[in-house]
Structure 1
């Protein structure tokens, strides 16, 4: 559209030049190949841009020559009749100034938009889009003095382990979480920078880099300090997409392709694998369907495991398989309703109890060490993976070095609904809800698979598992705008979350609420204000506590400045 508009501007400029009395130019100036005529230059520019052909250009020049010759002949005074309007004569100097101003404006725009000289910039410049954002956050964490001080950090236990669980032989405590000592005014940053390139009409590719204190999947935030050391940069995304019609096929590491909330998937979470999305399939004047299919590897088996044995373990890959279908309804009063239901199968994610292993004989590792989770936050029920046999010579003091694995299966049904509408004076309102049900949760099966060796979420007095299979949240936002894209835009929001321990994997949800994971309930509220179209301030308060088990109350205050480009 810009090219056509600019070409029409050129043609109008030529028309303006030709429309004045031709005495402003001599025939020689009009037709001379190397003359300095504005008309000649503009006509040549039209030829170079492909707006007119050489034949059409010659015709324009000949027309200008004929009009110049006709204008040079003396003309009789026209008869003046009643009602005639006399147009003042525009001096030649003024006409020349108008032509030059039009020419300068058109040429300036042509150069700025790279269509007057299309070979000035490389081709890739017009096909590449740069995007990114920077966030600076001040975060304070407040813990209740009544919290339990014996909550084990199972992720760290696995990372540093195995850990000896025999109280008669171990000489140190397992890694424990900080649950009582406040941490105030942690200055933290997040920086992300990406490139997206169009390869053809339907193909594109892109990469994004991001900060992060580790290679964990749920956060790209990094705490400052550390002796003023430089900060880490990770490959956050790398993908190729194909968009034929209403479909979008993506392969690589890309953004979350599903409609979801951070109760299940963190906003910083990206997905490794392949996905296929469709949208825009209308079923009424106001409604349309959309859907997504995806397969994402969570963890591959180690090809060389166990390294000190000729017999290698079989393939035990773990996958996330997901399918979602939903619908959008658009209404005349600028309202929109969306509903989506999804099914996620976290295949082979549950841990496996090992066969008998004789570690006191310095034998190979136990045969299900592969089922250690790649990443955990906290909340899921875990159990001791190894079936370690006691040393007959000293059974009481036999070391029992253990890893832990997830006790439950995770086969999730996920329902999301959202209502967006415009109220009085153009104010925006959004209401949303999310419900998750873990069909794979079965307490009897968990107990049998763990052979009774549960490490948490178990009441020793009643002999019962203290967990559950469902989670839900509600969210409301109100303001002048919910996207904060104009100076002065503002919004407020609040919500409530309730997440039972085994309603979903604790590895992938928001890392701020309850400092990540499951077995949490509580509220959050906040507000944001746009300083300009690319910069906004946000404050958020979150208050949460445990659903089951030892007391763990955590309050979080976040004040942050967000810039985007």
Structure 2
């Protein structure tokens, strides 16, 4: 029934309902009252019709919106409501790693087999154009800063099976970037210093230093760019004595030889303050190969590094060769040098792709701080030389397997001098 017919019917019904009153009284006063009543009815009907039209228009708009959303083929075309816009400023990330590990020392009777996991969950929030805040939680232990591994079956002192595993604050930082190329970091952060080939001669890859750092990158032209990095970090805060800290600075240049090749070179300097005569009483400052006497460090550590890397392609295969050399400039140190050379072939990125890496390193007892360098090589620390082989294969998007083999021996170590170590690791890494 159309709106016009509805109006006519309603008017007729109203008129018929009131007609007997007109016939009975038949005077002008009653007719006026009747007209007044009809005007009220028409006014009410007009309001009802306006409301119906308003509801119909709203329903039409909603139907159009739903239809447009259902037709959208690209999810990016679907916009969040204004009240949920803040979600777009959050970025979640994380990874899970399952590791099977076999460790064998030729001077010890038993091999060690372990299954270990690593889980990390991170969040980055864009505050505004100049500020970003990041958080990350990870497995591991507060006693060991060079590892986020959690060994399965490693229970508490009470020996309970299937014990709960800990999750710790691994990153918590603010990133201020007021101009292009400049980043000022405050808090507990990723290591800001560049390492060619991702070597771990000075710093373990799992370390997240605590303090303040700044990094500035700028391009001179299309071929030449430079980067300077500096920072100060706390090693140990002492309420009743001097604090332990490290200050570092690094400068590097990168020169693009062509679209597929480049040279990178630079120097670093790390001043670990006055470690001499410091008591070795924490895992952060574990002796780990450094010279000590009566549970105290014998030397200071002022580490100078020079490094270089050549990246190029053979056909479509990316490759690189790198090297780094470190020396402890502190006075009276005898075993003060370390170096590493390595190569990488290809890149494990797309499903079915692979990557191979090889590195040889030799680090003397007091070249670097043993408690902060690679925790896998010679079971962690200084005073060793040897090889590392790695092979990665991309199983699927965000899913990768990595096989690593260390063949190394200790030297400059009174307790295990000449001991040979074989370490095999098989990893399944899932990123999200």
1:370 deviates by 8.9
Conservation of the 8 A alpha-carbon contact between 1:441 and 1:502: no
Alignment correspondent of 2:81: 118
After TM superposition, the structure 1 = structure 2 runs for residues 285-434 of structure 1, keeping only pairs within 5 Å, are: 285-303=222-240, 315-351=241-277, 374-376=284-286, 378-384=288-294, 404-424=295-315, 426-434=316-324
Alignment correspondent of 1:254: 189
For the residues of structure 1 that align with 2:411 and 2:182, how far apart are their CA atoms?
A: 41
1:340 deviates by 2.0
Structure 1 residues 109, 478: closer, same or farther in 2, change over 3 A? closer
1:195 deviates by 0.6
Alignment correspondent of 1:500: 364
After TM superposition, the structure 1 = structure 2 runs for residues 496-535 of structure 1, keeping only pairs within 5 Å, are: 496-535=360-399
Work out which of the residue numbers 51, 71, 96 in structure 2 matches 1:105: 71
1:228 aligned onto 2:162: yes
1:351 deviates by 1.6
1:421 deviates by 1.4
For the residues of structure 2 that align with 1:204 and 1:103, how far apart are their CA atoms?
A: 32
1:129 deviates by 0.6
1:278 deviates by 0.4
Conservation of the 8 A alpha-carbon contact between 1:429 and 1:476: yes
Q: Which has the higher strand share?
A: 2
* Equivalent residue pairs, number: 366
1:102 deviates by 7.4
1:192 aligned onto 2:120: yes
**1:116-142 superposed Cα distances (whole Å, 9 cap, x missing partner):** x523x6233111111111111010011
Structure 1 residues 113, 348: closer, same or farther in 2, change over 3 A? farther
For the residues of structure 2 that align with 1:182 and 1:250, how far apart are their CA atoms?
A: 45
1:414 deviates by 1.0
1:113 deviates by 4.5
For the residues of structure 2 that align with 1:373 and 1:269, how far apart are their CA atoms?
A: 13
SS in 1 for 2:246: strand
**1:14-71 superposed Cα distances (whole Å, 9 cap, x missing partner):** xxxxxxxxxxxxxxxxxx998889xx969x98xxxxxxxxxxxxxxxxxxxxxxxxxx
For the residues of structure 2 that align with 1:197 and 1:213, how far apart are their CA atoms?
A: 26
Conservation of the 8 A alpha-carbon contact between 1:349 and 1:373: no
1:490 deviates by 0.2
**1:458-480 superposed Cα distances (whole Å, 9 cap, x missing partner):** xxxxxxxxx5111000111112x
Structure 1 residues 316, 330: closer, same or farther in 2, change over 3 A? same
Q: Which runs of 5+ in 2 are unaligned?
A: 1-52, 156-160
For the residues of structure 2 that align with 1:207 and 1:263, how far apart are their CA atoms?
A: 27
1:486 deviates by 1.4
1:103 deviates by 7.7
After TM superposition, the structure 1 = structure 2 runs for residues 202-281 of structure 1, keeping only pairs within 5 Å, are: 202-225=130-153, 226=155, 227-245=161-179, 246-260=181-195, 261-279=199-217, 281=218
Conservation of the 8 A alpha-carbon contact between 2:280 and 2:286: no
Structure 1 residues 373, 214: closer, same or farther in 2, change over 3 A? closer
For the residues of structure 1 that align with 2:288 and 2:280, how far apart are their CA atoms?
A: 20
What is the RMSD of the two structures over their aligned residues, measured on CA atoms? Answer: 2.6
For the residues of structure 2 that align with 1:477 and 1:408, how far apart are their CA atoms?
A: 35
Alignment correspondent of 1:15: none
Conservation of the 8 A alpha-carbon contact between 2:122 and 2:134: yes
Conservation of the 8 A alpha-carbon contact between 1:239 and 1:252: yes
**1:500-542 superposed Cα distances (whole Å, 9 cap, x missing partner):** 0000000111111111000000111121100112010011110
1:301 deviates by 1.6
Q: Which runs of 5+ in 1 are unaligned?
A: 1-31, 46-99, 148-179, 304-314, 353-368, 385-403, 444-466
Per the normalisation by structure 2, the TM-score is: 0.79
1:552 deviates by 1.8
Instruction: Pick which of 370-379 and 256-265 moved more.
Output: 370-379
For the residues of structure 2 that align with 1:538 and 1:218, how far apart are their CA atoms?
A: 20
